[in-house]
Amino acid sequence: MGAGQPGDRERPIIMTDRIMVDPKTTDAKTSDAKTADSTRFLSHLELGEPDKTFLDTNELVINMGPQHPATHGVLRVILKLDGEQVLGTECVIGYLHRGVEKIAENRTYTMFNPYVDRMDYVAAVSNGLGYCEAVEKLLNIEAPPRAKYIRVILTELNRLASHQLWLGTHALDIGAMTPLFYTFRDREEILKIFEKYCGARLTTHAFRIGGCQYETYEGFEQDVIKFLDFAPPKIDEYEELLTTNRIWLERTKNVGVISKADAIALGVTGPVLRASGVKWDLRKAQPYAAYSDFDFEIPIGANGDTYDRYTVRMEEMRQSLRIIRQAVGRIPEGPIMAKVPKVMKPPVGEIYHSIEAPKGELGYFIVSDGSTQPYRIRVRPPSFVNLQALDIMVRGALVADVIAVIGTLDIVLGEVDR
Amino acid sequence: MVGKLKGQYGSGIREANTYLGQNYMVVEPSVVFELLQILRDREQFDYCVDITAVHYPQREKQFDLVWILYSFPRNERIRVKTMIADGESVPSAVSVWATANWLEREVYDMFGIRFDGHPDLKRILMPDGWKGYPLRKDYGIIQQDQEWVQANLGIESGQ
Amino acid sequence: MLNYVTSYLSSNTTPGQAGNVLWTLIYILIVFGGVSVSVIAMNWLERKALAHFQIRLGPMRVGPHGLLQPIADAIKLMTKEDIIPAEADKFVFMLAPLIILCASFAVYIVIPFGPTHAITDLNIGILFMLGVSSLSVLGIVMAGWASNSHYPLIGALRSSAQMVSYEVAMGMAVVSAVLMTSLHGLGPYGVGVGTSGTGTLSMIGIVQAQQEQHVWFLFKFFPLGFIACGIFAIAMVAETNRAPFDLPEAESELTAGFHTEYSGLRWSLFMLGEYAAMMAVSSIAVTLWLGGWFRPFPNTLTGQTWDLVFSLFPGLTFLGLAAIAFVGVVRMPKHAYFRAQTIGLVGFGAVLGLIGLLLFVPPVRDRIQDIFWFVAKVAGFMYLYIWYRATFPRYRFDQLMKVGWKVLLPIGIGVLILTAILGVVL
Amino acid sequence: MQQIVQPGMQPVATTFFFYFLSGLILLSGVFVITCKNAVHSALALIFGLLAQAGLYLMLYAPFVAGVQIILYAGGIMVLFLFVIMLVNLERSRRENQFNKQWLVGLLAAVALGALFVAVYAKGKNLFPYRIAQPIETSNTQEIGVMLYGKYMFAFEIASLLLLVAIIGAVVMAKKRI
């Protein structure tokens, strides 16, 4: 930070100590994967010298967040800028850290169940599904088919709700206000179904270990079918507003590109991975719940840019509706709860179970010591891992693209920080 | 696959087993880095799902370090486990999978396990100056770094 | 003295040209008050229209259908604590909103609401307008710099770069309109009549040229005038920093751009200036391309009957508004809680209806007609502003610059050259 | 008072406005050189330029006034401000603003003043008693006719020169073309 920093007349910028400027010459490796040479890809700002001209500009370090309208919560991104061009970023996270994993070690398996809803609070049902299935696996029991179908329906509805929230906020970040209200209007219908089913709208705690706590309410199927007829035209409406909008195309095409190789190396999952052209979805790859019974497509993108991620998610919303339509027509009769001991004492052992949450692979690694409390629960949060890709996606882009990319990664800080 | 690897490393792989349909192997810390690299390059485990640790304070080698790997071509998951003592460090897997960067930082943050060769090993979820590693078993659930809380938040207790 | 007062009324020129200081002052007050009131109305309308675009209701609580919301907001803003950051350059910080306000209000000096309804008619009217509106850049730059903070500075840099570049495209479009005043050719489609006019920069002169040539410049040399108007319409959105070109205020990127550090009254001055500028540039677009104060079809639908029909429009519009208000009264929930609101809406409707009836009185009708058509055309542009805001995502900065320099400017120059060629050839 | 119908602004309080604007120009000129903060200097200069535009208006030269506002106040000075804002003002603020050559400065000022007085005294007869009043309404047209008629060649050369300057600036600032 030399002299002549704009706006820096009186005092130095805080947090410059976190930036480590290493004048390492960047080798011009023309490999497709930026991560191939791992020493080049670091989370801290390891930056080469900017192109020198005699009208050289000074670099500007800007703190985006933790209180910033476009960081979707308390994410702080330190941007190193040359003009408006991003030279590098560093994410500072942990502002919302509540020690969920520590709490788990001090609660019984049943007591911990509601806590998982608080991680990815826009997709609470998915979190609950992953946790319940993981513990069921550890107990070596299986939920009855009726419970599995209810789980699939609610989880897919939740995926829809999560994607709608993503679309609204993402579009708002890019400057389109209207989709936000449209998506919230339609998300409301899903939340109404949740509320009718279990009394809660956001942190639903819909499932229990071994099945579901509640039988479906009267008219559940009708409500869902009503929603299935209601939603497709609304999704078309969002697409009408955005998909072919010239400004939207310019803002999203070739922005935040992440190649297939990079996406795999960075462990990115979910729509972000699929938009890079990897046809991988845990619901197909390792079907859980009742997903093997249903027929659906995995939408993939080609370029791995923001627009592809947008189209992938839009298509995923349609596929979710397709799954729900298949499921709701043939919910089997029968019990909704498996025979679960009153006091859960899973045998000593460990298990890793993951599901396809709206944001990517959500995994639970549970170690049991034979007592009623888990010895260790590790949550593999999709947002946390996906956020790591931010740096590689925005280097060389402009500040406005950083906003777009944060939006397109679809992070929820509750899950990143846990 | 395990047989092949066992032939190569012999005693390096202590155990290779399946529990509840999930494969895992327990290996010596000395061979773990090489093994991870081979798993990626030869066995196509191209996706590192997670890196985490479990603390067993009673044991001599206190920590179980766990790598969960997935192979897209084989559609198969495997867990690689190694046991290390407190203060011992393992080579970083960042050069194998870029995603290991933050995951290893989190393990360091929560357990205090150091990774050799990690580009930027520092706390990720906890504040930089925090003392103690919260996910160790000897760290109480309401325990906190009083000094840090006082200095940075200006309050006596965060609870 | 009385003669002095009434002499202007019987004249057929603007008070400024007539040198009538009293009437000039009255006009200044009327325009200033009128613009301020329209800003308040525009504020309400924008929130309401935007809300209905977005399936919301918008303000509903303060007054019937939130009619008093802008006033409540104004009171809130005026009584709010006025924060000046400790590190700010206080003098420049306080001066900046005033400069923006002055610049946007000064443009109204030359805007002709009617052949006699303008504060004055400057010989260089359009040049004056371009110059004065370019001064508001100064206010923005000052505001951004004086805040001594990063986001405002970036906002100010963006904004000034944006305004300076779009001014060029805007200038090209304006020049082609000015050129049309002196060109009497009819263009390939032969709209209007050919007269030999001399060119003028005066705003009233431009409108009169449209009258003489029997054509709105929008339709002159058919695609050319249309394209020039389009360029101006795009450039004016960028010039006033509105969506989709609202980068200086892009709240998702720069929180609030150059006025991030402002609060209370000073912030409201920025808003006042912004809306006044929006209306000013819309008025200029109307003057240059949409025939200013002329009613639609002044040349084809001529004769006493048509004059009468069109002169009834202002009154009918207000009666229509009153009818809408009364429909609102009928639809009000019948509950004691809403009594005050219902009465208020009845009163509002009654006032609108009375104004409507007043507008049917012949002397008022004849005087007000020009102003009505002018304002109606401006209102169309204002609606476009709201519509843009509800529909478009925001441009990125480099894309914005690309549109300005690589699309609008070349097209503008092309239109200018073609206009000149057509004018000479035809 | 009879009805005034002829076009053209009737001057109001000419003397007052002349001294007002001249005073403003002088005052802002003083501020330009005495302000420690370069941004303040630039702002003072802008006010000076605006006041000058006012003087042009009083001289029945509205076109020049408009161009003055657009080009100087709205264009060039904004660019000036741009540059000034981005440089570090700290150093210049700490530096001593005037160097110690008071005597030379004073002498130069007195000499210039004396020159003005001398020229005014000697050539009093050269100044017209009152300026010819150009017709305000056709002033702009006159300028256009002159630029594209009598002074066409000079005008084109000037524009060519500016074009060269623009290209030069682009070449110097741009890394890759």
Question: Amino acid identity, residue A9?
Answer: R
Does residue C349 sit within a domain? no
Mean pLDDT of A305-329: 88
Chains in touch with C (3+ beta-carbon pairs under 8 Å) read A, D
Cα–Cα distance between C220 and C213 in angstroms, integer? 9
Nearest to A191 by CA among A239, A118, A124, A120: A124
Q: Answer yes or no: is pLDDT of A232 > 70.
A: yes
Q: Which residues 371-410 on chain C approach chain A with CB closer than 8 angstroms? A: 389-399
Contact C254, C153 (CB under 8 A): no
Cα–Cα distance between C251 and B153 in angstroms, integer? 29
D125 with D76, same domain: the answer is yes
Measure in Å the smallest separation between the Cα of A172 and chain B Cα atoms: 28
Cα–Cα distance between D91 and A74 in angstroms, integer? 37
Number of Cβ atoms within 10 Å of the Cβ of A292? 10
Q: Are strands B114-116 and B89-91 parallel, antiparallel or unpaired?
A: parallel
Give me the pLDDT at residue A4, please. Answer: 36
Cβ-based contacts of B22 with chain A (< 8 Å)? 351-352
**How large a percentage of chain C has pLDDT more than 90?**
0
Question: Amino acid identity, residue B6?
Answer: K
Q: In D, what residues contact A, Cβ < 8 A?
A: 85-91, 172-173, 175
Coil, strand or helix at C43: helix
- Per domain, the residue ranges of chain A are 17-92, 100-417
D127 with D140, same domain: the answer is no
Give me the pLDDT at residue C325, please. Answer: 86
CA dist D155 to C112, D69, D144, D158, D161, Å? 34, 21, 11, 5, 10
Mutate to test the interface with A, among D86, D94, D172, D174 (most CBs of A within 10 A): D86
Coil, strand or helix at C243: coil
Number of Cβ atoms within 10 Å of the Cβ of C342? 17
Coil, strand or helix at A312: helix
Does residue C219 sit within a domain? yes
Mutate to test the interface with C, among D17, D39, D57, D59 (most CBs of C within 10 A): D39
Does residue D30 sit within a domain? yes
Domain encompassing residue D159: 136-177
Confidence of residue C193 (pLDDT cuts 50, 70, 90): low
Q: Answer yes or no: is pLDDT of A53 > 50.
A: no
**How large a percentage of chain A has pLDDT more than 90?**
0
Does residue C374 sit within a domain? no
Cβ-based contacts of D86 with chain A (< 8 Å)? 4, 6
- The residues that bridge with A305 in the sheet, in sequence order, are none
Give me the pLDDT at residue B4, please. Answer: 64
Does residue D115 sit within a domain? no
The secondary structure of residue C332, as a DSSP letter, is S
**Last residue of a domain, which of C31, C55, C79?**
C79
Give me the pLDDT at residue D158, please. Answer: 92
Question: A44 at the B interface (CB within 8 A)?
Answer: yes
* pLDDT, tens only, B19-46: 777 778 888 777 778 778 877 777 778 8
Mean pLDDT of C334-355: 85
Domain encompassing residue C101: 86-294+390-425
Find the residue in D nearest to A57 (Cα). D86
Q: Answer yes or no: is pLDDT of A56 > 50.
A: no
C276 with C416, same domain: the answer is yes
Number of Cβ atoms within 10 Å of the Cβ of C257? 26
Based on the structure, what is the number of domains in chain D?
A: 2
Contact C35, C29 (CB under 8 A): no
C233 with C270, same domain: the answer is yes
Give me the pLDDT at residue A39, please. Answer: 42
Give me the pLDDT at residue D4, please. Answer: 37
Coil, strand or helix at B60: coil
Cα–chain center distance at C99: 18
Residues 6+ apart with CB under 8 A from B131: B145, B147, B148
C60 with C121, same domain: the answer is no
Return the CATH superfamily for domain A100-417: Cytochrome-c3 Hydrogenase, chain B (1.10.645.10)
D126 with D143, same domain: the answer is no
3-state secondary structure D40-101: HHHHHHHHHHHHHHHHHHHCCCHHHHHHHHHHHHHHHHHHHHHHHHHCCHHHHHHCCCCCCC
CA dist A158 to A121, A169, A215, D24, Å? 11, 17, 18, 68
Q: Are strands A349-357 and A360-368 parallel, antiparallel or unpaired?
A: antiparallel
* pLDDT, tens only, A151-175: 888 899 898 999 999 888 888 888 8
Does residue C365 sit within a domain? no
Per-residue pLDDT of chain D (177 residues; tens, 9 = 90+): 333 334 444 555 677 888 888 898 989 988 888 877 777 888 888 888 888 888 887 777 778 888 888 888 777 887 787 777 766 555 656 666 566 777 888 899 999 999 988 888 877 776 666 656 656 566 777 777 888 888 888 989 999 999 999 899 888 877 655
Mean pLDDT of A320-332: 87
Mean pLDDT of B55-69: 85
Confidence of residue A31 (pLDDT cuts 50, 70, 90): very low
Cβ-based contacts of B133 with chain A (< 8 Å)? none
Cβ-based contacts of A6 with chain D (< 8 Å)? 85-86
Does residue D162 sit within a domain? yes
With CB atoms and an 8 Å threshold, state whether A3 touches D90.
yes
Confidence of residue B100 (pLDDT cuts 50, 70, 90): confident
| D111 vs A47: which has the higher pLDDT | D111
Find the residue in A nearest to C392 (Cα). A176
Cβ-based contacts of A349 with chain B (< 8 Å)? 19-20
Give me the pLDDT at residue A2, please. Answer: 35
* pLDDT, tens only, A351-365: 888 888 888 888 899
Measure in Å the smallest separation between the Cα of A62 and chain D Cα atoms: 16
Contact A94, B127 (CB under 8 A): yes
- Tokens (6 digits) for A400: 């406005």
A236, containing H or E segment: helix A220-242
Model pTM score: 0.78
Cα–Cα distance between A381 and A197 in angstroms, integer? 27
Confidence of residue C250 (pLDDT cuts 50, 70, 90): low
Question: Amino acid identity, residue D72?
Answer: Y
D126 with D41, same domain: the answer is yes
Give me the pLDDT at residue D111, please. Answer: 94
Q: Are strands A374-380 and A360-368 parallel, antiparallel or unpaired?
A: antiparallel
> Among C35-39, C89-93, C145-149, C191-195, which is the least confidently predicted range?
C191-195
Find the residue in B nearest to A97 (Cα). B125
* pLDDT, tens only, B5-24: 666 666 666 677 777 777 78
Give me the pLDDT at residue A32, please. Answer: 43
With CB atoms and an 8 Å threshold, state whether D89 touches A9.
yes
- Tokens (6 digits) for A187: 């998300």
Mean pLDDT of A199-204: 84
Compute and round to an integer the Cα radius of gyration of chain C: 23
Does residue C361 sit within a domain? no
* Cβ-count burial A226-240 (b if 16+ within 10 Å, e if not): ebeeebeebbeebbe
Cβ-based contacts of D4 with chain C (< 8 Å)? 7, 11, 18-20
Q: Answer yes or no: is pLDDT of A323 > 80.
A: yes
D130 with D144, same domain: the answer is no
Contact C262, C143 (CB under 8 A): yes
D21 with D82, same domain: the answer is yes
Mean pLDDT of C316-332: 86
Measure in Å the smallest separation between the Cα of B156 and chain A Cα atoms: 19
The rounded mean pLDDT for chain C is 81
Does residue D25 sit within a domain? yes
Cα–Cα distance between D46 and D68 in angstroms, integer? 11
Number of Cβ atoms within 10 Å of the Cβ of A62? 18
| A399 vs C384: which has the higher pLDDT | C384
The secondary structure of residue C406, as a DSSP letter, is I
D125 with D145, same domain: the answer is no
Question: A395 at the B interface (CB within 8 A)?
Answer: no
Q: Answer yes or no: is pLDDT of C58 > 80.
A: yes
Mutate to test the interface with A, among B99, B106, B143 (most CBs of A within 10 A): B99
C-alpha triplet D1, D5, D8: angle, nearest 5°: 110
Confidence of residue A44 (pLDDT cuts 50, 70, 90): very low
With CB atoms and an 8 Å threshold, state whether C243 touches A175.
yes
ipTM of the complex, rounded to two decimals:
0.75
- Tokens (6 digits) for B7: 């032939």
CATH number, position D82? 1.20.120.1200
Give me the pLDDT at residue A27, please. Answer: 33
D59 with D71, same domain: the answer is yes
* pLDDT, tens only, C272-323: 888 888 888 888 888 888 888 887 777 677 777 777 777 778 888 888 888 8
Give me the pLDDT at residue D115, please. Answer: 92
**Last residue of a domain, which of C28, C52, C79?**
C79
Q: Answer yes or no: is pLDDT of C374 > 70.
A: yes
Mean pLDDT of B74-101: 82
Cross-sheet strand order for the sheet of B63-71: B13-19, B22-27, B76-84, B63-71, B47-55
Coil, strand or helix at A362: strand
Question: C90 at the A interface (CB within 8 A)?
Answer: no
* First-last CA distance in chain C: 53
- Tokens (6 digits) for C8: 């202007």
Q: Answer yes or no: is pLDDT of A123 > 90.
A: no
Coil, strand or helix at A244: coil
> Among A9-18, A183-192, C5-14, C238-247, which is the least confidently predicted range?
A9-18
DSSP string, A169-224: HHHHHHT--HHHHHHHHHHHHHHHHHHHHHS-SSS---EETTEESSPPPTTHHHHH
Measure in Å the smallest separation between the Cα of C142 and chain D Cα atoms: 9
Does residue D96 sit within a domain? no
Chains in touch with A (3+ beta-carbon pairs under 8 Å) read B, C, D
C143 with C253, same domain: the answer is yes
C149 with C273, same domain: the answer is yes
D85 with D142, same domain: the answer is no
Q: Answer yes or no: is pLDDT of A1 > 70.
A: no
> Among A24-33, A379-388, B68-77, C282-291, which is the least confidently predicted range?
A24-33
Cα–Cα distance between A25 and A86 in angstroms, integer? 17
Residue listed under structure tokens 């290390």? B84
| C362 vs C170: which has the higher pLDDT | C170
D128 with D76, same domain: the answer is yes
D151 with D165, same domain: the answer is yes
Cα–Cα distance between C289 and C220 in angstroms, integer? 9
Measure in Å the smallest separation between the Cα of C411 and chain A Cα atoms: 19
- The residues that bridge with B63 in the sheet, in sequence order, are B55, B84
Can you state the angle between helices C409-425 and C150-182, rounded to 10 degrees?
A: 10
> Among A117-131, A226-240, C251-265, D50-64, which is the least confidently predicted range?
C251-265
Based on the structure, what is the number of domains in chain C?
A: 2
Mean pLDDT of C205-222: 77
Question: B124 at the A interface (CB within 8 A)?
Answer: yes
